[in-house]
Amino acid sequence: MATMSPKERVQKFFKREPVDTMPVFSGMGMVTVQAINKMGIRFAEVHGSADYLAGSATASSDIFGFDAVIVPYDMCTIPEAMGRGCSTYADAEGILYPTVPTKWDKLDSTDINPDWVSKARMPVVEEALKKLIAEGKYAVGGWVLGPFTLGGQVIELDLLLKGIKKEADKVQAFMEKMTRVVIDVAKRYQALGVDYMTIREMGSGTDLLSPRMWKQLIQPYLKEIFAALESPKILHICGGTDLIVEMMNDCGADALSFDQKNTLAETRKKIGNDVILLGNFDPYGTLCQKEASEVPEVIKACIDAGVDAVWPGCDIWPDVKAENVQAWVRTMRELGKQPSPAVGRV
Amino acid sequence: MVAEERRAEILKNLSDGVVEYQEDQVKEYATAAVEEGLDAYDAIMNGLAAGMEIVGDLYDRQEYFVPEILMCADALYAGLDILKPHLKKDTSAAVRGQVVIGTVQGDVHDIGKNLIKMMFDVGGFTVHDLGRDVPLEKFAEEQLRTDSEIVALSAMMTTTMMGMKKVIAMIKEKNPNVAIMLGGAPVTKDVANLFGADGYAESAGNAVQEAIKMIGQLRKLKEEGLPSDR
């Protein structure tokens, strides 16, 4: 059997061409403390340097045998560039991701820096992506938050949620503004040559919004985004998604990704076998809490439910147990030789 | 003394106003309650809180989601602001207690925390709200300073949840009797158990459910009398 390079495997996977085995990768953060430690840096330092970002992504894949690398790791790069600042917790012990310290307090007061795409850490992320793409060792993933989730980073979320009922026009204008930002960034990353692009509208599940509201507030903008982007493009949503699977599938993405709250087998029935399905193990529970011996059954359950590749439901918590990650990769290499519903095997 | 019929009318309008997120209606009837001499605690618990219990049921039935709950909360606070200054100071009806609440360092999302805070406010607790993105040691310091019986921690993201474990260890080491409540999307029963917490809620809506259950217990206590009153 021909053996593919990691990059080739992921590229063919998204074209739905036969692959040798199921690729091990994600559309969300995959950096591990093992890689951070190997580089001799602290987690808080990694986010501000293109070398550290690219180096830690590559080191994580080198150590564990992932097929892809993905940067950045935090959700503040765009809000920071838009003018909302960034808390890096440089002195905090352990792992803390950067956050956005202040938010706009009105829906119509979002005064974005005019040349925000070149501000703050935006050039750092692009430089890291360029390095990884030039290296060519692994497939390179890019990601951008969806407009609602990005909006929640830069404005008080309750303003947005209550505004849906009370100030629909302002909410619409705000969402359009965020949508334009998402498209601009995602297109820039695609122009650099990323191999796949994930739009993470992670805060929009039915834990928060009704399906009816999702259709009104989220779907139109996601449709606009996916229409503007090149393939491969993936839509990921966390939390409750069983009630919005069909609507997600109508947004124009090539693949859908879910977290552990989704009933995958039912989702596969709803979307059929022509859409790439990704998911959905609990990253913290599986890679940090369980015993390594328990990991294969988790991975097998995802495959049995009909995924085309087993993705974690969110960012990997970097402080993984190495043996658990090894068990994840090993199980996928063993079980992944069989074709999946949407992707065949060579 | 308010006639029973009028009392029922005021309570119903307070409750309905919360359920239908009609702030003006709630303000009007909260003001009427004060002016006509209805007991403020009665109006809060059997008007505003009763309405929030219905909101909880609507959330359970997936008729209401978080946006509706937030608007109901605004209506509730509109009434609470008017009624609370009129609570009798020596009331044995209100279950007294103190709670320290906040969102852990690294997390700037606080909708769930604010909803839980609201239910503590309704329940008559003294709430020490530390806000969001709170350094871990601050929770333990504030608990010691205030001698609060409850510490409620919220984290919306997996990436900040780990901070909770440290806070619980810090507090339990100094005062093992403090009840710890965890909340947030990544928090599961297993995580709560593993971290040594006493209760948990996994989403903002779920947090309301949990808090409503608590308020239900408080109302029951009021009806049956506190253990010390018996």
Would you call A77 helix, strand, or coil by DSSP?
helix
Q: Do B162 and A317 touch (CB under 8 A)?
A: yes
Q: For testing the chain B interface, which of A161, A241, A260, A316 should be mutated: the one with the most B CBs within 10 Å? A: A161
Q: Is A213 an 8 Å CB contact of chain B?
A: yes
Tokens of A277: 């399905």
Class of domain B4-91: mainly alpha
State whether A285 and B66 contact (CB < 8 Å): no
Q: Which domains does chain A have, with CATH numbers?
A: 6-335 (3.20.20.210)
Determine the pLDDT at residue B109: 80
Q: Residue B228: which pLDDT band, with cuts at 50, 70 and 90? A: very low
| Whole-Å CA distances, B110 to A317, B75, B87, B113, B153 | 21, 19, 28, 5, 10
pLDDT at A169: 93
Q: Which residues contact A322 (CB under 8 A, 6 or more apart)?
A: A32, A34, A63, A64
pLDDT value for A24: 98
Do the Cβ atoms of A289 and B194 come within 8 Å? yes
> Which A-chain residues 21-80 have CB contacts (< 8 A) with chain B?
none
Report the residue from B70, B186, B206 with minimal CB separation from A161: B70
List residues of chain B with CB under 8 Å from any CB of chain A.
Answer: 62, 65-68, 70-71, 74, 105-109, 111, 114, 133, 157-163, 185-186, 188, 190-191, 194, 203-206
What sign does the dihedral A141-A336-A294-A297 (CA atoms) show? positive
What residue ranges do the domains of chain B occupy?
4-91, 98-208
User: Could you tell me what percent of chain A has a pLDDT over 70?
Assistant: 99
Q: Give contacts of B190 with chain A, Cβ < 8 Å.
A: 285, 289
The pLDDT score that the predictor gives to residue B209 is: 63
Q: A326 falls in which pLDDT band (50, 70, 90)?
A: very high
Structural tokens at position A196: 């796949």
For B111, the closest of A95, A96, A157 (CB atoms) is A157
CB A335 within 8 Å of CB A300:
yes
User: Which residues in chain B are contacts of A167 at CB distance < 8 A?
Assistant: none
Domain B98-208 is found in CATH 3.40.50.2300: no
* B164/chain A closest Cα distance in angstroms: 12
Nearest chain A residue to B184 by CA distance is A207
Amino acid at A160: L
pLDDT value of position B220:
60
Q: Is the separation of the CB atoms in A29 and A73 below 8 Å? A: yes
Per residue in A90-142, pLDDT tens? 887 778 899 999 899 899 888 888 899 999 999 999 999 999 999 999 999 99
pLDDT, tens digit, 9 for 90 and up, residues A115-124: 999 999 999 9
Number of A/B CB contacts below 8 angstroms equals 83
**How large is the ipTM?**
0.85
**What is the least distance, in Å, from the CA of B63 to any CA of chain A?**
8
Angle, in degrees to the nearest 10, between helices A157-166 and A168-192 = 130
Indicate the pTM of the whole model: 0.90
Please report residues of B whose CB lies closer than 8 A to that of A283: 158
The pLDDT, as a whole number, for residue B71 is 94
pLDDT of residue B159: 64
Q: Do B105 and A92 touch (CB under 8 A)?
A: yes
- Which pLDDT band, with edges at 50, 70 and 90, does B226 fall under? very low
Quote the pLDDT of residue B194: 72
Read off the amino acid at residue B47: G
**Cα A134 to the chain's mean position, in Å?**
22
A209 neighbourhood in chain B, CB within 8 Å: 65-67
User: Which of A105-114, A169-178, B48-57 ranks highest by mean pLDDT?
Assistant: A169-178
Question: A103 contacts in B (CB within 8 Å)?
Answer: 108
* DSSP annotation string for B101-123: EEEBTT----HHHHHHHHHHHHT
Q: Å from A252 to nearest chain B CA?
A: 26
- Is A344 a residue whose pLDDT tops 70? yes
What pLDDT sits at residue B95? 56
Give B-chain residues touching A158 at CB under 8 angstroms. Answer: 70, 111, 114
